[in-house]
Structure 1
Amino acid sequence: MPSCKFWPRLRVLPEEQSVHEVYTEPNTHDVVGDETKTKGSDLETTKTVESEEGQLQHGFPYELRDEAGRRWWKFFDEFEYRANSEYKKSRSWYSFLYPNHTTHTKAERTLLYKLDLLVGVYFLMLCWSKSLDTNNYTSAYVSGMKEDLNMKGNDYIYTSTISNVGAIVFQLPFMYLLPRFPAHIILPFMDMGWSWFTFACYRAKSLAELRGYRFILSAFGAAYYPVSQYVLGSWYAPDEISSRVCLFFCGQLLGGVTSGLLQARIYKSLDGVAGMAGWRWMFLIDAVAISIPTAIIGFFVIPGIPSKCYSLFLTDEEIRVARARNKRNQIRDGVDKSMLAPLWSWKIWKKVLFTPAFWVLVVFDTCSWNNMTAFSGGYSLWLKSNPNYSIVQVNNMSVLPACLGFAYVFLCSWGADLTRCKWAFMVFAAIINCVSCAILIKWDVSSGAKWFAFLTTYFSVAPSPCLWSFINDFLRFDPQVKAVTWIAIYSISQSTYAWIPALAWQTVESPRFHTGYVVSLTFGAIYGLWTFVVLFFYKRNEKKHALGNGIILYNSEEGKPVPKYVDTAMEKRGEYYYLKDHIDNYLT
């Protein structure tokens, strides 16, 4: 590996060479451990107490909370056990994008600024590139590809299904790769493969050849969803991540917008140039001008994860802050390869398959995939069925729902972080999506109602950042289990998207798609209701980890007293409890 300072390399901080000592408290269940950290940073010399409920951190404010008389409506308080009152009060409402919870230092705020520019904006670019290439299939279809490749009947949807199968199958190896290899290597390598086969699509001479290219293209694209979410979940706090996943989805929407506009421009300007149809030029330009440069940039800007950082742009202090933030938020982002169990180990699969939350999230993500009317192509095909619109007009007007989708996604994701309440925006979006589907099922409605229905289809996409934030928070405790579970959830749910649309959105039903909208309405209704099931399991999970979130629970009504360590190892300062400064004095 070159030693050039412009070449990404593993960042090793000086204090990582220190030796950690552990002391056991005689005749008790508590363990005290020293963790040597750099003076002057957020990681100063500190000590922790290991109680029966979990680990207590030095310098961490703890809220002592009596559960007696807890009201039923507290069920809807999503962050009831996820954050204590000190954490909730430590930001102003208007600073929700940069809350500066942990250190209240310039370093943390600078870290978030840099992460947004490096990780957030890059994943927006990457998702835009992928979405542009994907949407070009629809744009090309309505711009002459159908006739040039002699596509008939359900060839359109079957080709999409074949493409989806490639993505599903080739996601599975990332269960092994994600916790072992750096993202700045995995993702750009896969993106170069995606770019090459996007380029190859321009020369397809038959439907079979196009299907082969689309299958391999999607196989290389299998990495970008799981890797990007794995990285985002390793850097951002629970009330920051929805806003950042929002950038990811904005890239997806931007692809939908620019695909139609670019296809319209290219069709008008380049159709027939050099003997090539306009739709072929679109694939060629996508690959050379957009996808390949994006892949190269990724190698230099993807930072890895805080515990294994490869960033060229973050300082040592900012890496320390990122690790301190993860410690407070109970996010374990990575472990050494030597500590990882073999992928075929029953221990790993037992943790995944026998956890109720896994199956709850599988249902949740499956409903999310199959209620997305926004990507059905129904709107574009409805426009094409109207003889009053030319091909250029169809391509230009096809971007309207995606343009409005930006507002819908920002509303749900920023609203979720601002209010710390993802479930409310998810339910709201599901209701709007169901109304949209109901109108299109009826079909014989006024022109205004139909336009309203089509222009609100992107509410089926809007709550996705909240969904992925939920999944990241559920899986933050074990990096290997997180990798396996993420891929398993995504593969199972996406596999349903490979065959359900083939049955529900058959091209021969175009442009009405009655079956498709019925299926989307069904999944949308389940999605809205299932949100409360997810909330139940989320709250139950966070209550188990309440101590790690800075909340010491007891219940005076049920005879559950204040834990003994509160008196022996802690002291009250203002409203909150802290570990005593000289904990060694209490090891008797």
Structure 2
Amino acid sequence: MVANFLEYLRGSQTSPAERKLVQKLDFFILTFCCLMYFLNYLDRSNLTNAYVTGMQQDLNFRGNQLNQINTVFTVGYTIGQIPCNIALYYVKPRIFFPSCMVAWAACTMVTAAAQHPRDIMAIRFFQAIFESSTFVGTHYILGSWYTGSELGKRSGIFTASGLAGTMIGGFIQTGINSSLDGRHGLPGWRWLFIVDGIITLPVAVYGYFLFPDTPRNTQAPYLSPEEKTMAIDRVPEVSERTPISLGFLKHCFSTWYWYFFTILWIIAGETESFSTNSLLALYMNAHPTNTYSRAQKNNYPSGVPAVGIVSTLFWATLTDFLQGKRYLVGYWIGITGVITSALILAYPDNTTIHFAMYYWAGSVYACQATFFAWANDVLRYEEDALRAVVIASMNMGSNAINAWWSIVFYGANFAPYFTRGMWAMIAVSIASKLDLFRTFVFSLRFCLECS
């Protein structure tokens, strides 16, 4: 078993030529997509970092306004999912992705000029539409280039890069506060948005010139004609371009793929609520007895995505090695959600338990990479347009629910205990196991039919 696992880690390619091709793909696809997602998450997480390090007071935030801004962002992000994935059929990815990056970088820098929470609300809506291209678009691209035995590990690396953006955001804010706070009369939190926007632009330029698009339309100068042919042969031959019509959309929304994978991710996505709503940072900010410094508020929550990175890479690699048994991670996230919530409810005054549970809860991020790789696996032999719509619908459905879920259960005014949210987490953790079993049964039926 150990020898087989080590062999898997070295790569499953059968020839030196194929191994060389995959190494090129890893370098040019993963470097760009991971940097893009890193910056995407950096922009998102730094709103909370800015909030707890001066923005709340400077802009006179009241009540649930932070959650309202996050909800508006989620609405924009939800609206953009399917249109962005469909746009990849009409605009080459090497043009579409970088252009979206330039647009959201501009929105990020404009945030530094905000004078009222409503200003940020408007900016974040449009920023979200451009950022919505990244996650589902990249999963579509990964499914276009990589085989089933390669996909989970690459999806895990990609997802981990977003978590790295969340983790590093706190340290960046700490550094900016210590070096730029007050420079030219601007507080550190405003400089944070300016710096975020600036560092996004070079990655966009890189994408314009070197991103390889998809196997059937790539013009990448670093791929030889033989490698381009091999890239096409490595993946199933399916219809890559399907006319987008009402009939096609009706077909998409009537398949079991769309129904079960969308429901699965709607439920599983809410098991990440402790982390995606930055509950540890809000807990520290509203702690009834302890007062934390700005550096502590930024740095301590960075441990949550750090746990998520380790968990994501572990489960993505393991489920690849186990020949695509992606459903296994569902049991982990279900157990984690129930135990962490129950202990926080049972010990409301124990700061150590709260910290430990929020860190442990970061491990549920593993379901992102594995469940989207699972959808790519099952839809590998279907037309590309259907795969693109299902993947986009998964994230769209999750964000549509999260638009109001975060306010109802994890509003900033519920800090520091989020009692209502703890019970909600127990409920979705149990529900995720039930829907996981149903999705597994239908996926198994699909595999048997294909064989």
Q: Say yes or no: TM over 0.5.
A: yes
Q: Deviation string for 1:144-178 (max 9, x for gaps)?
A: 00011110100110010011111112334235322
1:6 alignment counterpart: none
Write the mapping of 1:21-170 to structure 2, written as runs, cut at 5 A.
92-101=4-13, 104-170=14-80
Q: Which amino acid aligns with 1:319?
A: K
Q: Which amino acid aligns with 2:7?
A: S
Shift of 1:97: 4.0
Q: 1:382 aligns with which of 271, 283, 287?
A: 283
| C-alpha contact 2:311 2:364 (8 A) present in aligned 1 | no
Q: 1:332 aligns with which of 228, 238, 241?
A: 238
Shift of 1:416: 0.9
| C-alpha contact 1:131 1:255 (8 A) present in aligned 2 | yes
Q: Which amino acid aligns with 1:494?
A: N
Q: 1:264 aligns with which of 155, 171, 174?
A: 174
C-alpha distance in 2 between matches for 1:448 and 1:278: 30
| C-alpha contact 1:401 1:456 (8 A) present in aligned 2 | yes
Secondary structure in 2 matching 1:399: helix
Write the mapping of 1:402-417 to structure 2, written as runs, cut at 5 A.
402-417=305-320
Shift of 1:280: 0.2
Shift of 1:446: 4.0
Shift of 1:92: 4.1
Q: What stretches of structure 2 of length at least 5 have no aligned partner? A: none
TM-score by length of 2: 0.94
Write the mapping of 1:187-266 to structure 2, written as runs, cut at 5 A.
187-266=97-176
Shift of 1:301: 2.7
Which stretches of structure 1, 4 residues or longer, exceed 6 Å deviation after superposition? none
| C-alpha contact 1:166 1:215 (8 A) present in aligned 2 | yes
Shift of 1:98: 5.0
| C-alpha contact 1:433 1:456 (8 A) present in aligned 2 | no
C-alpha distance in 2 between matches for 1:98 and 1:425: 23
Shift of 1:449: 2.7
C-alpha distance in 2 between matches for 1:444 and 1:490: 33
- Structure 1 residue 297 corresponds to structure 2 residue 206: yes
Q: 2:420 aligns with which of 506, 515, 519?
A: 515
Deviates more, 1:506-515 or 1:430-439: 430-439
Structure number having the greater strand percentage: 1
C-alpha distance in 1 between matches for 2:119 and 2:332: 43
Q: 1:307 aligns with which of 204, 211, 216?
A: 216
C-alpha distance in 2 between matches for 1:352 and 1:194: 30
Q: Deviation string for 1:439-495 (max 9, x for gaps)?
A: 223343644432320111112211211100111122222012222222233222211
Q: Which amino acid aligns with 1:466?
A: T
C-alpha distance in 1 between matches for 2:171 and 2:205: 25
- Structure 1 residue 436 corresponds to structure 2 residue 340: yes
The share of aligned pairs that are identical, in percent, is 23
C-alpha distance in 2 between matches for 1:380 and 1:253: 16
Secondary structure in 1 matching 2:26: helix
Deviates more, 1:221-230 or 1:189-198: 221-230
2:297 alignment counterpart: 394
Q: Deviation string for 1:2-59 (max 9, x for gaps)?
A: xxxxxxxxxxxxxxxxxxxxxxxxxxxxxxxxxxxxxxxxxxxxxxxxxxxxxxxxxx
2:373 alignment counterpart: 469
Q: Which amino acid aligns with 1:304?
A: D
Shift of 1:93: 2.9
Larger CA Rg, structure 1 vs 2: 1
Q: Which amino acid aligns with 1:385?
A: A
C-alpha distance in 1 between matches for 2:348 and 2:388: 47
Q: Which amino acid aligns with 2:294?
A: I
C-alpha distance in 1 between matches for 2:439 and 2:10: 27
C-alpha distance in 1 between matches for 2:341 and 2:296: 25
C-alpha distance in 2 between matches for 1:352 and 1:314: 34
| C-alpha contact 1:433 1:459 (8 A) present in aligned 2 | no
C-alpha distance in 2 between matches for 1:266 and 1:443: 36
- Structure 1 residue 285 corresponds to structure 2 residue 198: no
C-alpha distance in 2 between matches for 1:436 and 1:239: 33
Q: Deviation string for 1:335-354 (max 9, x for gaps)?
A: 4xxxx32x2331x1232122
Q: Deviation string for 1:234-261 (max 9, x for gaps)?
A: 0111121111011111111111111100
| C-alpha contact 2:160 2:309 (8 A) present in aligned 1 | yes
Deviates more, 1:245-254 or 1:135-144: 245-254
CA RMSD of aligned residues (A): 1.9
- Structure 1 residue 535 corresponds to structure 2 residue 440: yes
Q: Which amino acid aligns with 2:433?
A: G
C-alpha distance in 1 between matches for 2:105 and 2:212: 22
Shift of 1:508: 1.1
